Amino acid sequence: MPDPTLADLTTLRLGGPAGRYVPVADADALVAAVTEADAAGESVLLVGGGSNLVVADEGFAGTVVHLVGGGVHVDGDACGVASVTVAAGEPWDGFVARAVAEGWVGVEALSGIPGTTGATPVQNVGAYGQEVAQTIARVRVWDRVLKGQRTFSAEECRFAYRHSRFKADPARHLVLDVTFEFHAGELSAPVAYAELARTLGVEQGERAPLAEVREAVLGLRRGKGMVLDAADHDTWSAGSFFTNPIVDPALVPDGAPSYPQPDGSVKTSAAWLIDHAGFGKGHGLDRPGARVSLSTKHTLALTNRGGATTAELLDLAREVRDGVRERFGITLVNEPVLVGTSL
């Protein structure tokens, strides 16, 4: 059986072949594979769920290390707080489902997000008013520079909006496992996101049963094409392609969402900017032979309609980015990692 291409390993279903493909099932095998490649002077691409990667059509000339193993270990459960260590290769949504079933509070609004747990601290994954930074206690990594294991506390991870020390220096650290600390309960963390609160029929800041929050989030995500479904091309994406920009308040257009930040800046909505710059849902589908478009359910997702190339997807991304910049003077930044290519 031939080795998979990057198109086989990514949710966008895009990307060419790997120079060398190495599947690994646990942290020891991960460290061994990367150490061997480093010693040989080979470039390394680590792939878990492939949900945050845009890989060039030419592929990746180095070693693709594919992490396919997981596991969850409950380290302790005392005084109503559970300490839970999750292997990097554990599928994220499966872990969230278990957390909800066990009554571990704090990740229920992160339901339906594809990918593996090891990827979540890298960009401080968040949605519907929650971020993993709110429950992560520590992250254990392999440091490719010091050639040894290190453990970072949550504070040492330097979490910020879709950012961390691991994203700032992406080639250095391999996440081996993530330890979370959860308060136990039947009700969720306070519901911080207005759309989710409306769906649940509660006020922002109120709580709701964990299982109801999970189902509400899954429903909202499905309605936006953000829950993987092989039969739905709107889910052939890397999720939100652009981050919500954080800008000077004077740059926020009239009518755009505005969320004040501690430093005096404002976070606004990339989806609003895209839509109001003239790029509606399904933009691109009206072109002859269209193989890429904005999702028909959500303007923030760029999708492969089948048979597309990475070059075509990035042409669409540039069209949207440049159109928003021309209309509003705000430059959108891609959220997925670009491998072998750029905007």
Active site residues: 162, 240, 335
User: Which helix (H) or strand (E) covers residue 168, if one does?
Assistant: helix 165-168
User: How many angstroms separate the Cα of 250 from the Cα of each of 145, 190, 247, 322?
Assistant: 42, 31, 8, 20
Displacement of CA 39 from its chain's centroid (Å): 30
Question: Are 250 and 229 spatial neighbours (Cβ–Cβ below 8 Å)?
Answer: no
34-63: burial string, b at 16+ Cβ within 10 Å, e else: beebbeeeeebbbbbbbbbbbbbbebbebb
Q: How many residues does the chain have?
A: 343
- The answer to whether 137 and 154 have CB atoms below 8 angstroms apart is yes
Q: Please, are residues 285 and 269 in contact by the beta-carbon 8 Å criterion?
A: no
